[in-house]
Chains A and B, each alone.
Chain A
Amino acid sequence: MDVQAWTYLIVGLTFALYIGIAIWAKAGSTKEFYVAGAGVPPLANGMATAADWMSAASFISMAGLISFMGYDGSIYLMGWTGGYVLLALLLAPYLRKFGKFTVPDFVGDRYYSNAARTVAVICAIFVSFTYVAGQMRGVGVVFSRFLEVPINIGILIGMGIVFFYAVLGGMKGITYTQVAQYCVLIFAYMVPAIFIALQITNTPIPQLGFGSEVAGGGYLLDKLDGLHEQLGFTAYTDGSKPMIDVFFITFALMVGTAGLPHVIVRFFTVPKVRDARVSAGWALVFIALLYTTAPAVAAFARYNLINTVSNTQYAELPSWFKTWEGTGLIAWADKNDDGAVQYVNGKAFAGKPAFAEGQGAQGQRLISNELTDNDNELYIDRDIMVLANPEIANLPDWVIALVAAGGLAAALSTAAGLLLVISTSVAHDLIKKQVNPDLNEKSEVMIARISVAAAVLIAGYFGINPPGFVAQVVAFAFGLAASSFFPVIIMGIFYKRMNKEGAIAGMLSGIGFTAAYIIYFKFINPAANTPDNWFMGISPEGIGTVGMIINFIVSFIVAKISPAPPEDIQELVDSLRYPKGAGEASMH
């Protein structure tokens, strides 16, 4: 069997599994639809949370990014895992005790204000759509590369699958599908990693191989530092970002993660406060498995890549190079006409490659970009490292097919979780809580299903016609979550005196500052987006941290000079703090 046959087989089997689970886990009530009946065991919830949260970006792009960033890639590793500690210690148990369906629910009730609820709903929907468009795109990329169908058909197939199990099963269907998807994606991630660790370092455990000696002597990381120095890159284990920026970006990613609505809502699905605590722990165990493997994969891929392409004649390059060149994600311009690939620091040309008709002297695709005057001849899209890794390492066809199935599992599981947040926000927080409180349960589930369906269609549209700014808005999504949800929820739990006035003023100033900063540097004046112009040297990616601090300060001051919250709200805060005693854990 060839790669394509293997891919059809493995992807087909996993899809059949997801659909089977959806039929088995059909949701009947709002409680089942929104929070899986709050009956999910903590271990399963941990797995579902891990799959929910590890997106196409974690699976497909992250190791590639780290591979090219070296030490600087640590911002993603620490930022996205460290946020879980905050989530587990500061948010999850209390939100579970609160026992409602959504984050806007908490904001609206705790701050006794529909205005605050509405701000939260808008943030939740914005963050979710930003994310989901990226997932759909990921599905399309995997389909087009491995099944050789056009990207748009791939997106339609992905939409169809998500549509089926999200609309039918709600949170219950999604949760159990995500458990299956976690198993698929982690298997697909680990198998090639183990193969490659064995090949390069003779150690089956990538986390250890990462710090071992390569065949032929010398430690892998020392070899990489040496190669980097030779080719003019910064050493792999040293960063090139300023320390203050690394610090602020890591922090923004941490609090942003803790504030992501589709992750928080997962802790509403377990039976008890105690379960919410431990289930965050399990989620991090499952995430850590991938997140400690990724930097090892990144280093292996970097080593393999440099050794394979650097100063190799184009005619002698392995076939994966030409396959990816065909997709436009690799390009080579033979600047000095020696027929060999010179890969050194610097950009071969500005922007993405624009291919011209015809072939060059070596049979390479010609590009029409204006070339830069440095010696680098190679353009590589960072996203392909994980997908191409098995090919670069010459692994068997079924491993390549497995990676395709894993990428799809990661993208679909995250997309489904996000779509559910969008539908609950619309059906529950907007319609039930604000427009028509008399809505009966059956109609509410119906409206929730219709909103999932509508959300799938909109997400698919954005996947097929991606707005050019998807990459930019990701910074936005994290910045927004960091500067809005995180402070508001923390204060809601830990500061009893925090009132409506403080929360709203804090959210508006935090979001306002963060949004203005990002919009200025990313959209209005991208040319000025350099460290010299940044506030204290903090990039737009890290500015959410400052927004968060502003939110905390403003809300604190405003709360001090305005009346204390009503008695019953102070009692509500008390009840959040004790698993039992001041009102039982609400059964929704």
Chain B
Amino acid sequence: MEKGKLQEYWATNLKYLIGLLVVWFVVSYGFGILLAEPLNAIRFPEWTGGGGFKLGFWFAQQGSIYVFVILIFVYVTLMNRLDKTYDVHED
């Protein structure tokens, strides 16, 4: 494959990585640590009529982990599609 195409592929990959890592940072360091205190004023989950979690605490001990799992699968999907588009997928 020509060089320009490959560079384009790599640039898109980096763009995905930055986007995903921003989310990664926001849910853990942002919601779970830096903003934990203000977020703790919000009760969660609302729909049970009040909620037993403070939101900042929930992000630190539960929410961030769920988001981490989702992030990896989003990455896998994006990259598999990108590999196909640029014809660098295996088999």
Contact = CB atoms under 8 A, between A and B. Distances in A.
Interface of A: 66, 71, 73-74, 77-78, 81-82, 84-85, 88-90, 93, 207, 210-213, 219-222, 237, 243, 246-247, 250-251, 272-274, 277-278, 280-281, 284-285, 288, 291-292, 295, 574, 577-582, 584-585
Residue among A280, A288, A574, A578 with max Cβ neighbours from chain B (10 Å): A578
Contact of B34 (A219, A243, A585): A243
A520 B47 CA distance: 51
Given A85-B24, A89-B21, A580-B89, A237 B57 contact: yes
Contacts of B38: none
A243 B33 contact: yes
Contacts of B9: 577-578
A281 B76 contact: yes
Nearest to B14: A494
Contacts of A89: 17, 20-21, 71-72, 75
B52 A212 contact: yes
Contact of A74 (B50, B60, B69): B60
Contacts of A212: 52
A582 B1 CA distance: 8
Given A578-B88, A579-B89, 6 more contacts: A81-B65, A93-B79, A247-B34, A273-B90, A277-B75, A284-B72
Interface in B33-61: 33-34, 36, 40, 44-45, 50-54, 57-58, 60-61
B66 A82 contact: no
Contacts of A585: 90
Given A221-B54, A288-B66, A295 B88 contact: no
Contact of A295 (B45, B61, B66): B61
A71 B53 contact: no
A89 B25 CA distance: 14
A194 to B, nearest CB: 17
A78 B65 contact: yes
Nearest to B91: A272
Contacts of B24: 82, 85
Contacts of A291: 65
B62 A246 contact: no
A211 B44 contact: yes
26 contacts: A71-B60, A78-B60, A78-B64, A78-B65, A81-B68, A82-B68, A84-B68, A85-B24, A89-B72, A210-B52, A211-B45, A212-B52, A221-B57, A243-B33, A274-B76, A281-B69, A281-B72, A281-B75, A281-B76, A284-B72, A288-B66, A288-B68, A578-B9, A581-B1, A581-B6, A585-B90
Nearest to A72: B60
Contacts of A78: 28, 32, 60, 64-65
Interface residues of B, number: 46
Contacts of B90: 272-274, 579-580, 584-585
Identify whether the interface residues of B are mostly helix, strand, loop, or mixed.
Answer: helix
Given A273-B90, A277-B75, A579-B83, A210 B62 contact: yes
Contacts of B21: 85, 89
Contacts of A274: 76, 79-80, 83, 89-90
A82 B66 CA distance: 10
A219 B72 contact: no
A285 B75 contact: no
A64 to B, nearest CB: 15
Contacts of B62: 207, 210, 292, 295
Contacts of A207: 62
B15 to A, nearest CB: 12
B32 A85 contact: no
A292 B51 CA distance: 18
B58 to A, nearest CB: 7
A315 to B, nearest CB: 35
Contacts of B88: 578-581
Contacts of A251: 29
Nearest to B51: A211
Contacts of A285: 69
Nearest to B57: A237
Given A78-B32, A81-B65, A278 B76 contact: yes
Contacts of B51: 211, 219
A506 B29 CA distance: 26
A588 B50 CA distance: 57
Contacts of A272: 90-91
Nearest to B13: A577
Nearest to A574: B6
Contact of A250 (B13, B28, B50, B65): B28
B90 to A, nearest CB: 5
A246 B20 contact: no
A247 B72 contact: no
A571 to B, nearest CB: 12
Contacts of A247: 29, 33-34
Nearest to B67: A85
Contacts of A93: 79
A578 B52 CA distance: 47
B69 A73 contact: no
Residue among B34, B60, B83, B89 with max Cβ neighbours from chain A (10 Å): B60
A207 B44 CA distance: 13
Contacts of B69: 281, 284-285, 288
B68 to A, nearest CB: 5
Contacts of A292: 62, 65-66
Contacts of B76: 274, 277-278, 281
